Amino acid sequence: MPRFSIIVPSHGVAGRLSQALDSVLGQSFGDLQLIPVCDAPDAAAAEVAAGYAGRDSRVTVVHSPPSAGLSGARNAGMRAAAGTYVLFLDGDDLLLPGSLAVVDARLSEVAGVDVLYCEHERAPWWEGEPATPAGPLPAKAPLGAFAPAELPGLTGVQLPAWSAVYRRAFLTERELVFPDGHFTDLGWGGLVTVAAGRIAVLRRAVVRHRSRRQGSRLNLPGPHQHTLLDQVERVLTRAAEAELPAERTGPLFDQAFALVLRTASRPERLPSGHRAFFRRAARLYRLHRPAGHRVPDGSLGVQHRLLAAGAYGAFRALRGAHRAAGGTVARLPRPHPARTRLRYARDLRRPLDPDLAVYCAYWGRGYACNPAAIHAKARELAPHLRGVFLVEAGQEHTMPDGVEYAVLGSRRSWEVLARAAYLVNNANFAEGVVKRPGSVHLQTQHGTPLKTMGVDQSVYPVVAARSGSFTKLLGRVDRWDFSLSSNRHSTRMWERAFPGSYEQLEYGYPRNDVYYTATARDVARIRRELGVPEGRTAVLYAPTHRDHHTGFEPGLDLEAFCRAAGDNVVVLLRAHYFYDRGGPRGSGRIIDVTAHRSAEDVCLAADALITDYSSIMFDYANLDRPIVIYADDWEVYRETRGVCFDLMAKPPGLVARTPGELAAVFRDGSYAGPRARALRAAFRERFCEFDDGRAAERVVRRVLLGEPPQALPPVLPLAERVPAPAAATLTRS
């Protein structure tokens, strides 16, 4: 029997679940059972949990449907628990280092307690110093174990379930389970308080609670607010049945009704039924008020008296007086100059154009990436829509014939941004763009993350210093309605890096459709346009940007590589788009394709890819052609930029650490050998999950045409997909 069973519900937190599980399995005290509770075997979190279970026998995965809620998940975990003691941990929180060892030592000191109440930390959800909440545990708790009557102010009503450790036999004997509905921590904590015979306190933080960016779901408006009264009634009824003395029911009553009054004083949480909530609360107040109860002093005491009297009108008037000064209107960022700002404000008052879609890629670099692929498919499937592409000044000549465009920052660009029903971008629109009710914003993303993204960058100083305001970034995220994903790894990382209320669309990347629709003739044409000599092996070299460098550094002597790799090799050099200066950089056997507008064309032309840590590897893997990782500075990159997974452990092909190793794998052909193929197959299984040639169709039909998900074409299994043929294949045939 393990000492501890730690139950971790995972609904809605797949992106951070691995961090929670690592915080448990990394404890110095290892006598534990870890129980991740997942929605279903095919849920995103289940994939994460299954990986841990496969590596560590202490992990027991159980399932609970989302309809059962948090209480159902925790109860399912308790049914699987085998430990002497039970702890709970939310799937996006952390068990602090060394916590279990300290808890074990304290439990040995206070042997046999039913509940050990612990301190916890609350941390801002993405940056800032964690803090211990003021007074979560009374200051004068006895040093050893004690009966609840000795400290009646210590109840579980105001403590989260994960701020305590529970003896499992006690829970079983008293048949304690989490009550259904919302505010389940209140119900659980109160029921545990009533039932416990011996308790103790640990004055050390055990859990770091990472506040969700959107705040607690319990603070959102809706009919679920009425279930707060269900939990209060359940706890106070149980206390009455247990015939607890007034000395104990008094604090229980006061703490429960402090929560009730907090909700009653916020009518916006109850858009309908606020009067009914107040009247039911008043009945419960009068029914369960302990004998000799004394109301608090001050304003809170006035609220108690009004609630006891059922004086709804007076209560509303009191709250209205307190909130009268709070009528500030949030300022919206707006464009410059003043004349454009005024016109934009006017256009925002005009009706949305239901047939207008605005597209932008890479901050206006041109017609490219997922937005371009969606625009092209929309012209085919939704010809009634008018599509306008935004492009930066000086790049107008790059727009294809027949594509309507507007220059970024121009009067016309702000006009279409104000009126468009659909806005599609692979980066983000400017600060001044207002998210209008009824408009649909689609964030297409522009790669699969290996490096940290979004708010995950905040802990890497070099990156954070260049990233600008994370607060402003998240203001832009709040405009998203949909975010595209090409694999489940990306889904989890977007959830973590860009927390928001958008819907994830696991449809694949539209820009990658061409890897399954291009023909042999297309490949030959692109190679001719790029100047690849017939019969040569074209190797695409695409290094990524490094935040600790001030400019483009190729990292490899390409002429020397060509000489060492063999006479048949030419290199297509594609620097990161940050370094696109619009002119050639190579000569001889080096063909500079950095300025070429289509990364997809360049990939189709290449027989093999060399990259370091660029996300191009994930897209190129769709072609099922050789990939070699040149990782001469992996350790530096990992420490300065941060990464989502260990590329060296599961690369898409062979890994070379030096120029000599890189040239050798091409010279002897091992870059395309059996081991390289096996690595690539595993990589494609993980990262080419949803790219099948029909991603753009799924996006257009769902987002622009409003079709239901079940009507969309399903993703074709990887084994049934046929990538575009490589030129080397054409030569041999």
DSSP sequence for 337-360: SHHHHHHHHHHHTSPPEEEEEEEE
Give the pLDDT score at 37: 97
Please report, for residues 394, 527, 536, 688, 723, the alpha-carbon distance to residue 520 in angstroms, rounded to integers and kept in the order given: 34, 11, 16, 22, 11
Give the pLDDT score at 330: 36
- Residue 698 CA to residue 713 CA, distance in Å, equals 7
- Residue 456 CA to residue 464 CA, distance in Å, equals 9
- Residue 298 CA to residue 258 CA, distance in Å, equals 14
Give the pLDDT score at 128: 58
- Residue 390 CA to residue 368 CA, distance in Å, equals 11
Contact residues for 488 (Cβ-Cβ < 8 A; gap 6+)? 44, 47, 506, 689
From edge to edge, which strands make up the β-sheet containing 4-9? 62-63, 32-38, 4-9, 85-88, 164-167, 115-123, 199-210, 94-95
- Residue 653 CA to residue 662 CA, distance in Å, equals 12
**Phi, psi for residue 131 in degrees, rounded to 5:** -140, 150
**Which two structure tokens, joined as six digits, stand for 596?**
């070429």
Phi-psi region of 408 (alpha: psi -120 to 50; beta: other; left: phi over 0): beta
How many Cβ atoms sit within 10 Å of the Cβ of residue 390? 26
How many Cβ atoms sit within 10 Å of the Cβ of residue 214? 13
DSSP letter, residue 568: T
Give the pLDDT score at 587: 57
- Residue 347 CA to residue 546 CA, distance in Å, equals 41
- Using alpha carbons, select from 142, 116, 12, 159 the residue that is nearest to residue 73: 12
Which tens digits make up the pLDDT trace of 97-137? Answer: 999 999 999 999 999 999 999 999 888 765 556 666 655 67
- Residue 464 CA to residue 468 CA, distance in Å, equals 7
Check if the beta carbon of residue 97 is closer than 8 Å to that of residue 26: yes
The β-bridge relationship of strands 608-611 and 627-630 is: parallel
- Residue 80 CA to residue 35 CA, distance in Å, equals 8
Within the chain, what is the greatest distance between any pair of CA atoms? 97
- Residue 306 CA to residue 294 CA, distance in Å, equals 14
**Phi, psi for residue 602 in degrees, rounded to 5:** -60, -40
Q: Which helix (H) or strand (E) holds 387?
A: strand 386-391
Check if the beta carbon of residue 253 is closer than 8 Å to that of residue 289: yes
Please report, for residues 329, 512, 604, 620, 652, the alpha-carbon distance to residue 601 in angstroms, rounded to integers and kept in the order given: 49, 11, 5, 11, 21
SS3 407: strand
Which tens digits make up the pLDDT trace of 334-351? Answer: 555 677 778 899 999 999
**For the whole model, what pTM was predicted?**
0.72
Task: Look up residue 708 and give its amino acid.
Answer: P
Give the pLDDT score at 537: 93
Please report, for residues 121, 181, 220, 482, 490, the alpha-carbon distance to residue 214 in angstroms, rounded to integers and kept in the order given: 18, 20, 9, 17, 21
Give the pLDDT score at 136: 65
- Residue 102 CA to residue 129 CA, distance in Å, equals 22
Check if the beta carbon of residue 187 is closer than 8 Å to that of residue 78: no
Strands (E), 400-536: 405-407, 420-425, 440-443, 482-484, 503-505
- Residue 310 CA to residue 276 CA, distance in Å, equals 11
**Which two structure tokens, joined as six digits, stand for 153?**
């102010």
Low-confidence stretches of the chain (pLDDT beneath 70): 125-136, 213-215, 319-337, 461-468, 547-554, 576-587, 728-733
